[in-house]
Each structure stands twice: as structure tokens, then as C-alpha cells.
Structure 1
Amino acid sequence: MGLPTVTTEAVSDIAPTTAQANGTITDTGGSPCSLRGFVFGLASHGDPGNIAPAVSAYENSCQQRGTFSYGGFDIELSALVKNTTYYVRVWARNNAGYSYGDEVNFDTLEGVYPGALYSPRTKINKVGVNYDSAETTTLFAPDVTKLDDEVVAIETELGINVKGGHADLKARLEWIESQLP
């Protein structure tokens, strides 16, 4: 029996504070893997070798427990810092120990495009939701607007009537389209 073999795949679904780490168990080493996951951090490190992720040089680790054979898997990395480079490695453990894949890096996104307020606007969609009961009426009707090739904005008014009272809320959100799930 030997160590598992794993491959770190490119990180996907990158946003300002989250990203999806992807990896593949390509060989279990003759024994099913009981743990698999990723180590990640702000600095590049060499292969940790046959050690647990918690004692590797990486600042963070995440894992899944179970009985795993060959195949791909992913885990969402969260609480990341926007506009920052991260280094990631996949890992897996079987009865013989731990094995790590090659390191890949990615940059989290910056967030809202600062020039969005000054871009030409083209309305692309309007959706609405109504909820009515004897005591409450809620109207939610956002305007989804494409500001330029990448930036999208949502403007909405939310009106709520509760037993004769009334409250209005107006909000505006903007983001780069590539950050959308």
C-alpha cells in the first residue's frame, strides 16, 4: 500500500472573498482515502510531505471526511481578502499517510468597479415579487441594469405595509458580472 496521488486543479468561481478549490484523487494508493481537502495561504510553500495539513506551513486548511476513491471534488474557500494572491494545494489521506498535489495560485477579485456610476446604462431586466396577506403587503421589484460590458447594478425599492403603517427602503448594488455565481 502506498500514498494517494492527487492533482490540484485550477481554482474557479473566484470572487472578492470566496473561491472554489478543485482537486482530483487520481490514485488511492491501494486503500480508500478517509480525508481529502486543501491547504491555502498567502505565501508559496514547497510540498509539505507526509504530514497533516494542520502542521504544514500553510495558514489555512479545509477538509472532507468520508470514504473516497478516485475522482474530482471541490470545497469553497471563504473569508478571503479581496484583491489578494492565494496559494493552494490539494491533499488526501489514506492508511499510509498524507499526500499533496502541486501548488496553484489565484487572485481574489477587487470588488465593485469604481467607474460604474459614470457608465452608460442599458436596462436588461425587471423582476418583481409580491406577497399579500390580511396584515402585510410586500412589494419587491428590482431593476437590473447593465452599466457597461462587465458591470451590473441592481436598484430596488422595497415597500412594506403592516396594519396601516408603511415603510420604504431603497437600495443600489453594483458588481462586476464575472463575480456573479
Structure 2
Amino acid sequence: MIKITSIFLVLLTIWSCSSEDTRGDNNQEETTKEIKIPILETNTVESLESFKATLWGKVLDNGGSSITERGICYSVTENPTYNNSSEKASVVKGSGEFQVNLQNLMSGITYYAKAYAINEKGVGYGNEVSFSTLDIIAPTLKIGDTKVAGAHDIWLEVSVPNQGDLEIDEIGLVYGTTSNPTTDNNGVTKENVEMAFKERITGLDPQTLYYFRAYAITSNGITYSDEITMSTIKKGNFTWSFWWEDNSDPAFDRLREAFDKATWYYNNFTSIEKHVNVNYNTGTPTADANFDGWINFGANPDYQRTGTAMHEMAHTVGVGTHGKYWELMKGSWQGNRANAILQMMTDDPNAKIYGDNTHFWPYGINGAHEDDGSEMLYIIHALVLQGMKTDGLPNQ
């Protein structure tokens, strides 16, 4: 019995020693396991713009340690490192893939990039890829097809169909009497940057061909539109005189001021040549005129104004008094130029001139109630009449 017990104790001791040795070997294996840097893959660029690029990377092996940071490092020289510019991932997938959006790049430049990841061992890199950002898209500027001219003024419309990649700091028009004007020549700069605007260029010489270009300034420089040309018109020669004059009657002072202003607008915004005789007749209810150049004004002071003078002057050159007017006015004006001028000057692409056998509207100034005394009322009236002349109404 004693022998059996002794044998059992010996076996127990051997089993216990064997068990302890095995555990000791496992602990040593865990302690000496080597941590390595991560292994990555850099994928090709997903999207490119002038200042932006989107890249994907993927962690193939974390090296036996948790990844604390991942992203893309990049440079304009080969073999970029984490010490160069780098951007952390914005999207991370469970598969190990991650996305990086690079911002504020330079346009038209070749970059070199690598995916990177960091664990407790250090920084691991993927393969190097290269990409080139797109050239900057400059603003696109366009001068409208419809242009309106007086003897000293030209109106143009400018639009920006595409602003491009950069903010526009300044916009306007340049012009001159030689081709390809620049900002070193005459120009008009808008106070505020607008994507569409109408501009009046003034102080021009009559019957002169001008070259125009719209321009925009960005941080990348100056961009110009295609060049267009436009000539100012021949200055008008519309004159007037009283048939008789009574300096003691204030009506003559009012009429003199009205016709001096009215003929100024006709001479600067039409090419009409005409002389008219102005007669003061207290028996005339308001005012009337004929194609022969006679204008009668009555005693009502409300009609002894610039607008009425221009209205009656229009009658002396064919409005409601000539066969060509009746041929072109069929409830609405059948000529193209006068309607195009109205549309451009009123910023209404659907505007149209209407009328009857005697008058036209809008801007016909058909009564004292339509005369608000504004400069643009008189200018547009004269320009529309110039358009009617272009459409066929007699010039005198």
C-alpha cells in the first residue's frame, strides 16, 4: 500500500512540472511577438479639379497594432513622407479602405502622393501615385448681341455665363478706337461685381468705330471677352425757331426751354436733320404738328414742356404723318430695330412698341401725364425714334 501511494505522488509531481513549463513557454511567446509598421496600398485618384483631388488608400496589414492615424501625404516632388504635407482620412471603411479630400492645391501642377498609416511602431506607406490638377477655369464673359448707340453714347449688355474657379474681384468694360483694348485703355469698372449688367459708355465721338471687351480680374489675372465693335451715330441736326415771339408772355420762355432741351436730346440720340417752326396759338387745345415742320402750341402750360415738344417733333418726322409709319405700324411696330432698342433699354426681352395711326407707346410721351421729366424717358424716346428711322421711317 505504501508503494502504490509513493508511485502516485511521483506521477503527480511529474504532471505538475510539465503543466507549469507549458504555461511558461506561452507567456514568453506573447511577450516577444514583433510589432511591424503597417502595410498599405495607394489607389489611383478618384476625382480631380483645379484645386482639389480625392484619393483612396487601404490598410492591408496593421502590423499587429492598432492604427492611430491614416491619410495621404503628398508633395510636388517624388517620394513624399508624413513630414511633408499630409491630410487625414475623412472616410474610413471597415474593409480598411479610407478616403482623403485634398484641398487648396495649386492648379496645373503634378503632385506625388502616398497612403500612410501610423501604429505604435511608426509610419507605414503605400505605393506612390502621381496626378496633375486641372488648369484654372477662367471666367467666361459675353457682350450681348444688341447694342444701342447715340452720337456720344453706347449701351452694352455684359453677362458671365461661367464664373470659373475663382472669385471675381473686379468686372467691367474696356474700349478704344483700336483693336484689343485692355485695362490700360479707357474703361468702366462696376462698383460691385455683377454676373449680368448693362453699361452706358459716354463721352464718345460721333460717327466713330469703337472696340469693346468685357473684363474680369481674379487672383489668377485678367480675363477678357471676345471683342465686339460698335459705331456711334451721326450727330443730329434738328433745329427750331419761333414763327413769331412775344417776350412779354411767359409761355415763350417755357417753350424756348422745352425746345432747347428737346432738340438737344434729338441731336445727341438721333441722326435726324430737320428744321421746325414753332407757333404759339392760344386757340390750340394742347399741341399739334405736321410732316411739313409746323408745330402749334396752345396756352395750357402743362403741355409747354420738353416731353410734349419731343412728341410733336416726332410727328414732324413721320410718326402718324407719313405713309411709311402707317405701313410699319399694324397695331404693333413691324420693324426689328426699334423693338430691339426698347427691349434692351428697358431690360425686358418681351417689350414691344404698340400704336395706332397717330401715336406709339410706350415712350411716345402722349400727353402731359406721361412726361415725368426724367432723362431716361427723353433718351429712350429719342433712341426708339432713331430705331424707327433705321426700320424705314424718313430721316427728315
TM-score between the two structures when normalised by the length of structure 2: 0.26
Does structure 1 retain, via aligned residues, the 8 Å contact 2:89–2:99?
A: no
CA deviations over 1:138-181 (Å, ceiling 9, x no partner): xxxxxxxxxxxxxxx559xxxxxxxxxxxx9535xxxxxxxxxx
Distance 1:18 1:68 in 2: 22
Q: CA deviation at 1:90?
A: 0.6
Distance 1:12 1:90 in 2: 14
CA deviations over 1:89-121 (Å, ceiling 9, x no partner): 11001122111011100000013279x779xxx
Q: Specify the SS of the correspondent of 1:20.
A: strand
Q: Which residue of 1 aligns with 2:76?
A: 42
Of 118, 129, 142, the residue aligned with 1:93 is 118
The structure-2 alpha-carbon separation of the partners of 1:93 and 1:17, relative to structure 1 and needing over 3 Å to count, comes to same
Q: Which residue of 1 aligns with 2:133?
A: 108
Q: Which residue of 2 aligns with 1:84?
A: 109
Gaps of 5+ in 1: 119-152, 156-167, 172-181
* Residues matched between the structures, number: 119
Distance 2:37 2:135 in 1: 39
Does structure 2 retain, via aligned residues, the 8 Å contact 1:28–1:69?
A: no
Give runs of aligned pairs for residues 17-32 of structure 1, distance below 5 A: 17-32=51-66
Q: CA deviation at 1:21?
A: 2.0
Distance 1:68 1:117 in 2: 44
Distance 1:98 1:92 in 2: 6
Distance 1:154 1:112 in 2: 9
Which protein is richer in strand relative to its size?
1
The structure-2 alpha-carbon separation of the partners of 1:93 and 1:63, relative to structure 1 and needing over 3 Å to count, comes to same
Does structure 2 retain, via aligned residues, the 8 Å contact 1:32–1:69?
A: no
Of 45, 53, 65, the residue aligned with 1:11 is 45
TM-score between the two structures when normalised by the length of structure 1: 0.54
Give runs of aligned pairs for residues 1-181 of structure 1, distance below 5 A: 1-45=35-79, 53-54=82-83, 58=84, 60-64=85-89, 70-112=95-137, 153=161, 169-171=194-196
Distance 1:21 1:105 in 2: 11
Distance 1:78 1:30 in 2: 32
Does structure 1 retain, via aligned residues, the 8 Å contact 2:109–2:132?
A: yes
Which of these two proteins has the greater Rg computed from alpha carbons?
Answer: 2
Gaps of 5+ in 2: 1-34, 143-160, 164-192, 197-396
Higher RCO by CA contacts (8 Å cutoff, separation 6 or greater): 1
